[in-house]
Amino acid sequence: MSWLTEYVRPKIRTLFTRREVPENLWQQCPACEQMIFHTDLAKNLKVCPHCGHHLRASAQERLAWTFDENAYTRIELPKVPVDPLKFRDSKRYTDRLKEARETTHLDDAILVAHGTIAGARAVVAVMAFDFMAGSMGAAVGEGLVAAARLAVLQDAPLIVFTASGGARMQEGAVSLMQMPRTIIATRLVKEAGLPFIVVLTDPTTGGVTASFAMLGDLLIAEPGALIGFAGARVIEQTVREKLPEGFQRAEYLHEHGILDMVVKRTELRDMLARVIDLLRVKDREAA
Amino acid sequence: MPHFLDFEKPVAELESKIEELRRMSEPDGINIAEEVAKLTEKADRQLRATFAKLTPWQKAQVARHPERPKALDYIAGLITDFTPLAGDRAFADDAAVVGGMGRFHGRSVVVLGTEKGTDTESRVKHNFGMARPEGYRKARRLIELAGRFGLPVLSFVDTSGAFPGIEAEARGQAEAIARSIEACLEAPVPLVATVIGEGGSGGAIALAAGDRVLMLEHAIYSVISPEGCATILWRDAAQAPLAAEALRLTADDLIRLRLVDDVIAEPLGGAHRDRDATLHAVSEAVRSALTPLLSLDGPALKARRREKYLAMGREALI
């Protein structure tokens, strides 16, 4: 139990979605270039009402959209050693972290919360692409381990929304070691007989895809999401071929048998509720 | 004609001078022993000085040296009765991942490696050590086979990374790597991994998430190649030496970060300069890493392995 006190005690914050007044009342869809009024965009969960393009969403938005009544309890994530490599390129890694924290108001590229989905308890971890491209260093790895342990403790399924450019280079081999660490996290959930569901959102690549993200009991993706291991440019340079239409997109992966389903954002919550309900027969029988 | 790296030029010049003297002396029988000995000593000193302060980028060059012993050399040198096994049972046999059964110091083991090849033909055959999903699925299959029969797994890692290709992505490269790492972590038998050259990112850890991870002195192990990192962060691949420095990818760095367990010293001038000595050193290091693990049962090994990886990145580092 020591981990729980460590993780949860400092403060438990209940967040409700804050109504933010957007700077621009109109936003242009990056796909069809039509203008969308901000209330329409919000109502439609950031899906373009004209062409159905799924715009990128923040981690907080995803939590709000997923849980009942937009309500959830975020847990404080364990602190990890900062900048183990003393890394600097044109900028210090510590400065990049500081900037990311200031612009996103997040500690790192992951949020973990618990609450209910259609009345059933669930733990949800969301990666924040805004935070250094959602890259996975020790903090993200530790966040996933904490999420897995919370799911086990609460006897609840774990749902992870991925959005990541891959490993966090600035943490070198420490970030590489998050691959086995997050895979251990998936084992903890699975061994407890709990569903581990991954929702792959745009974009999910590199070491994140090649670790916990591909090990869900169910793999769900949002339409059009870019999902892959190697970057498109690297592949193009290596094989010197033009990449096929729709390469590394959710629909392409679905066609190739890599995903279970591609689900629209507006239908995602209901689908999560349904699959959790279908999987958790044992609970109902016990009750 | 041996292959010299840029920074080995002074050594190369001395060694070619020695060669020249030897050739000259043969027909005439002139006694040049003294001169040769002097030059040899000088060359040795030079080599020692150069290798005593290799930069991380120079280490990367040594790690990728074309004459460096490759996975199949270690298998040939360390494993008797080697019995290669092939295929992922679904699509193909990927020659970038070699593996099979054999005996290590008389004990039955499963052995795995990423093989880069030694000449143009074999490099193409082994796809320069860059595995496709089939390779990682073969690795997983062999690790599971080892688990079923209680055989320790020895792996020899040398890869610039998983193959970035259209077909590889279409067949689930990411999933194949993830499952291979999972197989390492779940194995109910000891797994000793040795990074012999290049430990390139996910493609390397797919075979290396073991109980004990050893690194050769001049091997590198990194989340991204110095060139790749330089391209992204410096927007210039030519800054690779800087990226190599920043990434802390040498064996000493990895030990300090507590991400690998032991460093195996290489002969002066690198593993390729004395292959027999290298093979012997690796054989002994793997044996001493493996021996204490043999007394542990499956659940104990798994629990310890999990604890080992969970602790990484959580503890204060360097």
- Pair B92, B34 in one domain: no
- Pair B71, B135 in one domain: yes
CATH number at residue B273: 3.90.226.10
Counted domains in chain B: 2
Asked if B314's CB is within 8 angstroms of A138's CB, the reply is yes
- Let me know if residue B4 belongs to a domain: no
- Let me know if residue B233 belongs to a domain: yes
pLDDT tens, chain B, 318 aa long: 678 999 998 899 999 988 888 887 766 666 778 888 888 999 999 999 999 999 999 999 999 999 999 999 999 999 999 999 999 999 999 999 999 999 999 999 999 999 999 999 999 999 999 999 999 999 999 999 999 999 999 999 999 999 999 999 999 999 999 999 999 999 999 999 999 999 999 999 999 999 999 999 999 999 999 999 999 999 999 999 999 999 999 999 999 999 999 999 999 999 999 999 999 999 999 999 999 999 999 999 999 999 999 998 676 444
- Pair A251, A120 in one domain: yes
Counted domains in chain A: 2
- Pair A49, A139 in one domain: no
Cis peptide before A203 (omega within 30 of 0): yes
Tens-place pLDDT, residues A204-236: 999 999 999 999 999 999 999 999 999 988 998
- Let me know if residue B248 belongs to a domain: yes
- Closest A-chain CA to B316: A81
Buried b (16+ CB within 10 A) or exposed e, A3-36: eeeebbeeeeeeeeeeeeeeeeeebebeeeeeeb
Q: Extract the residue ranges of chain A whose pLDDT is less than 50.
A: 1-17
The whole domain housing A10 covers 1-55
Asked if A78's CB is within 8 angstroms of B313's CB, the reply is no
- Tell me the residues of chain A between 13 and 72 that have a Cβ less than 8 Å away from chain B: none
Helix (H, G, I), strand (E, B) or coil at A23: coil
User: Residue B22: its pLDDT value, please?
Assistant: 82
Cβ neighbours of B173 in A, within 8 Å: 210, 228-230
Does any CB of chain B come closer than 8 Å to the CB of residue A146? no
- Pair B42, B176 in one domain: no
Q: Any residues with CB less than 8 A from the CB of A26 and at least 6 apart, and which?
A: A35, A36, A37, A38
User: What sign has the CA pseudo-torsion B238, B242, B244, B246?
Assistant: negative
- Pair B173, B83 in one domain: yes
- Pair B67, B85 in one domain: yes
- Strands A158-164 vs A196-204: parallel, antiparallel or unpaired: parallel
The structure's pTM equals 0.94
- Let me know if residue B138 belongs to a domain: yes
Q: Considering CB atoms only, which of B164, B249, B315 is closest to A230?
A: B164
Cβ neighbours of A259 in B, within 8 Å: none
3-state secondary structure A30-46: CCCCCEEEHHHHHHCCC
Asked if B223's CB is within 8 angstroms of A176's CB, the reply is yes
- Let me know if residue B204 belongs to a domain: yes
- Pair A137, A248 in one domain: yes
Residue of A82, A184, A209, A255 to mutate, interface with B, max B Cβ within 10 Å: A184
Q: Considering CB atoms only, which of B169, B312, B313 is closest to A248?
A: B169
User: Where does a domain end: B53, B70, B98?
Assistant: B53
Rounded to whole angstroms, the Cα distance separating A221 from A256 reads 13
Rounded to whole angstroms, the Cα distance separating A99 from A97 reads 5
Q: Considering CB atoms only, which of A145, A184, A209 is closest to B185?
A: A184
Does any CB of chain B come closer than 8 Å to the CB of residue A247? yes
- Pair A49, A79 in one domain: no
- Pair A176, A248 in one domain: yes
- Pair B28, B84 in one domain: no
- Pair A25, A159 in one domain: no
Cβ neighbours of A86 in B, within 8 Å: 318
Asked if B318's CB is within 8 angstroms of A230's CB, the reply is no
User: Residue A90: its pLDDT value, please?
Assistant: 85
Cβ neighbours of B169 in A, within 8 Å: 228-230, 235, 247-248
- Tell me the residues of chain A between 175 and 214 that have a Cβ less than 8 Å away from chain B: 175-181, 183-184, 186-187, 206-207, 209-214
- Pair A45, A62 in one domain: no
Q: Nearest C-alpha of chain A: how many angstroms from B268?
A: 27
User: Residue A281: its pLDDT value, please?
Assistant: 72
- Pair B241, B135 in one domain: yes
Instruction: Return the structure tokens found at B198.
Output: 């290049």
- Pair B45, B187 in one domain: no
- Pair A142, A97 in one domain: yes
Dihedral angle computed from the Cα positions of residues B137, B139, B145 and B149, in that order, rounded to the nearest 10 degrees = -160
- Let me know if residue B1 belongs to a domain: no
Please report the ipTM that was assigned to this predicted complex: 0.95
The whole domain housing B44 covers 16-53
- Pair B259, B197 in one domain: yes
- Closest B-chain CA to A239: B165
CATH number at residue A72: 3.90.226.10
- Pair B172, B294 in one domain: yes
User: Residue B29: its pLDDT value, please?
Assistant: 61
Q: How buried is A239 (Cβ within 10 angstroms: 0-12 exposed, 13-18 middle, 19+ buried)? A: middle
Cβ neighbours of A257 in B, within 8 Å: 172
Residue of A2, A93, A178, A179 to mutate, interface with B, max B Cβ within 10 Å: A179
- Pair B171, B29 in one domain: no
